[in-house]
């Protein structure tokens, strides 16, 4: 019974943390404990820690900690090229694999699981680490004075969210779709976002590795949860639990009757595997959502940075149209009062006449970089800067 309660508490706490972290900033959770938990996880805990350091070691100790933190976390480290989130990722991956190996490998081979899974699991984790290293250490597409003209030709300005201008930091022309990353201190072509887990920008050249990383880790988590499920099913079969329950304990041979007893037996005997399945299932769902979002961006040839730019542009355009419509409606009302406008020929036409407020221009997203699903995917897998034709381009 204690194990069952521990499992329930673990699941509820995990769910609360995940919901708070992902949804705590939503308006529906404003001024609730969900918002407070989200603040504590993202900012509050760090602020309290800084206050604690200041109390114990003084302002000088706090400043020393901030310098060390900036060196290791605030920018790519020239010695280690690694930050706390990278270490956290490797720790989570390594510890999870070790726990699975120590707790579950003794059941392999089993009734439904072959010996092969001992080695495929190790291979899967190895491939995941390779993709992590590729994403972390690969060039995201750095824009320099030598290649800026090629990038400007490859990514023309749409004169909507991208206009011709100079990077104030690099002092070179800023190609469309690029952005200067303050953490990496460089301009990145087709900038998507700076990933703290990778300690690297996600840009034109390494988006393919980032997508592969997300997809592969989703498959790893799903694979682990499924294999652990088959291990438990095999133990259930080999130990003839259903036969014992129905024959010796007189439990009715139906799903509704057997389910509570089987769950109780599994939780009591294999609580570690149950917790691992829950953990892997939750992480796989998060990774599936994250991969789906970025896959959608790639299929439409849009970046995360451009998503925010389009939101700002559309919001500004709508407000501008509303202001124009309001001005037109006010002008029409003034003319109607002063009698300067021509009166309608009939009352019915006046009744059904369209209000100037309804004449707002429809704001649409005109993404000139979207060339169709096939071309968009080809651009992700084979970036423009790695094609032979890229070096023949000249800025117009």
Element holding 85 (H helix, E strand):
helix 84-104
DSSP designation for 214: H
For residues 48 and 53, what is the distance between their CA atoms, to the nearest angstrom? 9
Reading the block at residue 48, the tokens are 């309290």
For residues 321 and 175, what is the distance between their CA atoms, to the nearest angstrom? 29
Peptide bond before 109: cis, by omega within 30 degrees of 0?
A: yes
Q: Are strands 179-181 and 186-188 parallel, antiparallel or unpaired?
A: antiparallel
3-class secondary structure, 201: strand
Which of these is catalytic: 73, 167, 184, 195? Answer: 195
3-class secondary structure, 140: coil
Collect all residues with Cβ–Cβ distance below 8 Å to 187 and sequence separation of at least 6: 142, 143, 167, 169, 170, 172, 174, 175, 178, 179, 180, 181
How far from 82 is each of 76, 131, 204, CA to CA, in Å? 7, 15, 22
For residues 240 and 379, what is the distance between their CA atoms, to the nearest angstrom? 55
* Residue 277 CB neighbour total at 10 angstroms: 19
How far from 374 is each of 126, 299, 395, CA to CA, in Å? 30, 8, 26
Torsion of CA 312, 41, 222, 119, to 10 degrees: 120
For residues 334 and 50, what is the distance between their CA atoms, to the nearest angstrom? 60
Collect all residues with Cβ–Cβ distance below 8 Å to 270 and sequence separation of at least 6: 232, 235
Whose structure tokens read 């109607």?
336
170 given a catalytic annotation: no
For residues 344 and 276, what is the distance between their CA atoms, to the nearest angstrom? 74
DSSP designation for 63: H
Collect all residues with Cβ–Cβ distance below 8 Å to 115 and sequence separation of at least 6: 108, 109
For residues 330 and 90, what is the distance between their CA atoms, to the nearest angstrom? 63
Give the residue numbers marked as catalytic.
195
């Amino acid at each position: 019974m204690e194990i069952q309660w521990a499992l329930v508490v673990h699941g509820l706490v995990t769910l609360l943390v995940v919901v708070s972290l992902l949804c705590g900033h939503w308006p529906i959770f404003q001024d609730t404990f969900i918002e407070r938990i989200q603040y504590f996880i993202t900012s509050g805990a760090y602020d309290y820690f800084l206050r604690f350091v200041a109390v114990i070691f003084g302002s000088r100790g706090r400043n020393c900690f901030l310098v060390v933190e900036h060196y290791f976390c605030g920018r790519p480290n020239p010695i280690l090229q690694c930050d706390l989130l990278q270490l956290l990722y490797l720790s989570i991956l390594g510890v999870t694999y070790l726990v699975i190996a120590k707790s579950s490998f003794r059941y392999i081979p089993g009734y439904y699981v072959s010996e092969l899974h001992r080695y495929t699991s190790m291979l899967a984790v190895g491939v995941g680490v390779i993709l992590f290293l590729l994403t972390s250490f690969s060039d995201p597409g750095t824009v320099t004075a030598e290649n800026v003209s090629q990038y400007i030709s490859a990514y023309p300005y749409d004169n909507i969210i991208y206009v011709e201008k100079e990077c104030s930091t690099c002092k070179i022309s800023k190609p469309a779709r690029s952005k200067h990353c303050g953490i990496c201190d460089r301009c990145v072509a087709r900038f998507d976002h700076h990933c703290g887990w990778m300690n690297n920008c996600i840009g034109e050249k390494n988006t393919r590795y980032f997508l592969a990383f997300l997809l592969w880790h989703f498959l790893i988590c799903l694979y682990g949860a499924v294999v652990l499920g088959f291990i438990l099913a095999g133990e259930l079969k080999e130990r003839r639990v259903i036969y014992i329950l129905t024959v010796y304990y007189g439990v009715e041979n139906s799903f509704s009757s057997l389910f509570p007893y089987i769950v109780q037996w599994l939780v009591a005997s294999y609580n570690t595997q149950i917790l691992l399945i829950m953990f892997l299932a939750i992480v796989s769902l998060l990774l599936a959502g994250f991969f789906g979002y970025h896959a959608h961006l790639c299929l439409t040839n849009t970046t995360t940075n451009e998503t925010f730019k389009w939101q700002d542009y559309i919001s500004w355009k709508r407000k501008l149209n509303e202001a124009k419509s309001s001005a037109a409606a006010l002008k029409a009302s003034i003319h109607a009062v002063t009698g300067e406008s021509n009166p309608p020929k009939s009352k019915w036409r006046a009744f059904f006449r369209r209000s100037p407020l309804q004449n707002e221009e429809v704001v649409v997203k005109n993404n000139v970089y979207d060339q169709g699903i096939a071309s968009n995917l080809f651009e992700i897998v084979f970036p423009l800067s790695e094609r032979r034709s890229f070096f023949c381009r000249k800025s117009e």
